[in-house]
Every structure is written in C-alpha cells, then in structure tokens.
C-alpha cells in the first residue's frame, strides 16, 4: 500500500515538472498551425527553423557567447577558488560571502546595474558588453563549485608534492588540476547553460546589433506562439538535457 502511494506521489511530482515540457515537445511535431488541436505528425517546423536565417544567426551568437563567457568564467573562477583555498588574507570570509551575494541577487538588479555601468563607461551595448555581463553572472557559480571541491582536498597533498620535488607549477598541473577537473567541468557546463538561456540580464546588456536566441524567441512570442518556437524550445530542452547528463556523469566520476 505505502509502496503504491510512494510511486503515485513521486509520479505526481514529476508530472507537475514534466507534463508542460512534454506538451511542448509533442506540439512541436503537430502539423496544425495552431497549437491547440492535433492534426498529425510533421517535421516541417524543424525545417523552417533551419531556414530562418535571423533565428539561426541568433542561435550561433548565443552559442558563441555561452562558450566564450563560460570559458572565461571558468578560468577566472578556478583561480579565484584556488586563491581562497591557498592563501589566508584579511577579509577572506567577507569576500567569499560577496560571491554568494552576486549569485543570489535578482537578475533584474544585475541587468540594470550592468547597463548603468556600461553607460557610465561610455561602452556601446553589443557583443562585448553582453560577454562581460555573462562572465559576471557565471563567475560566482564556478567559484562556488570549484571551491566546494578544493576545500575538501587534504592540504598535505600539496605539501607532499612539493616534498617530492615538484615546483608550484608542477604541483598545480600534476596534482591540483587533475583533482579539480570534475568540478571545473561541472562549473563550466553550469556557466554554459546559464549563459545560453539568460533573458533578463541579456535584455539590458546587448544592443540591437547583436541578437541572441532567448531574446529573439521573446520578441517572436509577442506576436503569438508559433509552432516553430515549440520546435526551437524542444531543441534547446534536448541540449540542456545532454549538458546536465554530462555534468552529472563527470562529477560522479571517481577520482
């Protein structure tokens, strides 16, 4: 009895989470122009997706920004986490808390503040400002992910490596880096997905010259939801599914 109840309960939770997505995926294969009734299977919306060149361009832009910002955030974040671990300095705890504050602060606040910042600097909004903005909001996630792993490392491991003749560079390359790799990859994937689907911050920090996918979709749905968007959302959903799965496998990996 309780076993049945447990499965029903669990089923309801997952239905709540996934039914809307399932509906979206199903309707992306619907040949009707209107999402409300089913008129048979088709792949034409996916075809239209491929032929829609502004959309394609926005998609490529999104990938480029996501890739570049996640790589930068990962490098900076890993170094920051290493510094928090390795060195004892005044205000270390306070600074670490500040990392969390950036992570928790609402996107809208971040978007507006970044916009103000760029305007003050006299920077025209576009690809560059968007990239900076994305690095900014991805960075804390990398720091936190990497730091949580690095703080679990036995400090004597670094001492041992030095004792055995390794210099600072060799210690980092042969010992610290390999041990942190799962966290670094997880941090990078997290940044990549965060950057890929950000709307709010991007809305404030990019200009008309540089369109990215989430903003493009946002402007498209203002004129009503086209089946094309269902198809696009399905593609993006599949993409995040793959990333999350990879991230999970990598962090679970034994070291």
Q: How far is the CB of 154 from other proteins (least distance, A)?
A: 5
User: Can you tell me which of 102, 166, 199, 235 binds other proteins, judged by CB under 8 A?
Assistant: 166
User: Can you tell me which of 60, 108, 119, 157 binds other proteins, judged by CB under 8 A?
Assistant: 157
Q: How far is the CB of 89 from other proteins (least distance, A)?
A: 14
Does residue 47 interact with other proteins by CB under 8 A? no
Q: How far is the CB of 176 from other proteins (least distance, A)?
A: 10
User: Can you tell me which of 24, 107, 162, 199 binds other proteins, judged by CB under 8 A?
Assistant: 162
Does residue 226 interact with other proteins by CB under 8 A? no
Residues 6+ apart with CB under 8 A from 78: 142, 146, 180, 184, 187
Could you give the C-alpha distances from 92 to 45, 95, 253, in angstroms and in order? 53, 5, 31
User: Can you tell me which of 97, 148, 151, 170 binds other proteins, judged by CB under 8 A?
Assistant: 170
Q: What token pair was written down for 96?
A: 């670490």
Mask 179-218, x = binds other proteins (CB under 8 A)? Answer: x---------------------------------------
Tell which positions 25-44 bind other proteins, by CB under 8 A: none
Q: Which of 134, 149 has the CB closer to other proteins? A: 149
Does residue 164 interact with other proteins by CB under 8 A? yes
Does residue 167 interact with other proteins by CB under 8 A? yes
Q: How far is the CB of 153 from other proteins (least distance, A)?
A: 9
Q: What is the DSSP string of the chain?
A: -HHHHHHHHHHHHHHHHHHHHHHHHHHTTB-SSSTTS---B--HHHHHHHH-HHHHHHHHHHHHHHHHHHHHHHHHHHHHHHHHHH---TTHHHHHHHHHHHHHS-HHHHHHHHHHHHHHHTPPPSHHHHHHHHHHHHHHHHHHHHHHHHTTS-HHHHHHHHHTT--HHHHIIIIIHHHHHHHHHHHHHHHHHHHHT--HHHHHH--TTS--HHHHHHHHHTT---HHHHHHHHHHHHHHHHHHHHHHHHHHS--
Does residue 83 interact with other proteins by CB under 8 A? no
User: Can you tell me which of 11, 20, 54, 178 binds other proteins, judged by CB under 8 A?
Assistant: 178
Q: Which of 127, 166 has the CB closer to other proteins? A: 166
- Interface contacts to other proteins, rule CB under 8 A: 154, 156-157, 159-167, 170, 174-175, 178-179, 254-255
């Amino acid at each position: 009895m309780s076993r049945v109840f447990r499965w029903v309960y669990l089923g309801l939770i997952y239905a709540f989470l996934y039914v809307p997505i399932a509906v979206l995926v199903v309707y992306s294969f619907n040949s009707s122009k209107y999402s409300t009734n089913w008129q048979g299977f088709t792949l034409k919306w996916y075809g239209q997706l491929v032929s829609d060149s502004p959309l394609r361009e926005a998609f490529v832009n999104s990938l480029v920004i996501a890739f570049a910002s996640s790589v930068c955030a990962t490098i900076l974040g890993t170094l920051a986490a290493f510094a928090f671990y390795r060195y004892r300095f005044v205000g270390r705890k306070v600074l670490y808390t500040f990392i969390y504050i950036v992570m928790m602060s609402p996107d809208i606040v971040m978007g507006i503040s970044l916009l103000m910042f760029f305007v003050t600097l006299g920077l025209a909004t576009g690809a560059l400002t968007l990239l900076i903005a994305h690095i900014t909001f991805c960075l804390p996630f990398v720091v936190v992910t990497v730091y949580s792993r690095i703080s679990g490392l036995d400090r004597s491991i670094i001492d041992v490596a030095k004792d055995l003749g390794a210099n600072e560079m060799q210690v980092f390359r042969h010992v610290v880096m390999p041990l942190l790799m799962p966290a670094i990859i997880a941090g990078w994937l997290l940044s990549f997905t965060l950057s890929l689907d950000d709307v709010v911050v991007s809305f404030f920090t990019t200009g008309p010259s540089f369109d990215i996918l989430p903003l493009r979709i946002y402007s498209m749905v203002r004129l009503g939801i086209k089946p094309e968007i269902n198809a696009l959302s399905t593609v993006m959903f599949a993409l995040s599914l793959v990333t999350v799965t990879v991230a999970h496998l990598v962090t679970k990996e034994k070291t």
